[in-house]
Amino acid sequence: MSRDIQLKERWENLVAKLSDQFSQGEDLDLDAIIYLIGIQELGKVHDKFPKDEKLNLMHIAICRLLEPYGYYTFDHVDQEGWPHYSVKEELPTLKAGEQTVLMKEAIVSYFLEKEYID
């Protein structure tokens, strides 16, 4: 099976599984899944977050997702429990479609690592 087909199948299965667990019948989009990863990484699952913290959660998720690719490195957890990352290497300029593929690949890898999907 080609890598692209495998990624597509895993992505579709992941979206279905997360949507069943966290939404009211609608498929979660990429941003919603990134937000969920941010909450997971913060570890405050039942908290409600204001808009600025939601953006911070998405930033945490993106840093965590791109860490294995060498773009970020974990730095520390602050006194409030928020993880912080440092830029290790600047992201290359990517077209929107390329960014989406990179993020989907990183998200699938994240959930494979967490053994949420196989």
Please write the tens of the pLDDT for every residue from 20-43: 999 987 999 999 999 999 999 999
Give dist(CA 88, CA 71) in Å, integer: 5
Parallel, antiparallel, or unpaired for β 83-87 and 72-77? antiparallel
Per the structure, the count of domains in the chain is 1
pTM of the predicted protein model: 0.91
Q: Is residue 15 part of a domain?
A: yes
For 104, the domain range is 3-113
Q: Is residue 118 part of a domain?
A: no
Helical residues (DSSP H) of 1-118, grouped into ranges: 3-22, 30-42, 51-66, 96-113
Provide the phi-psi class of 115: left if phi over 0, else alpha when psi is between -120 and 50, else beta. left
86: Cβ contacts below 8 Å, ≥ 6 apart: 72, 73, 75
Q: What is the pLDDT of residues 51-70, one digit of tens each?
A: 889 999 999 999 999 999 99
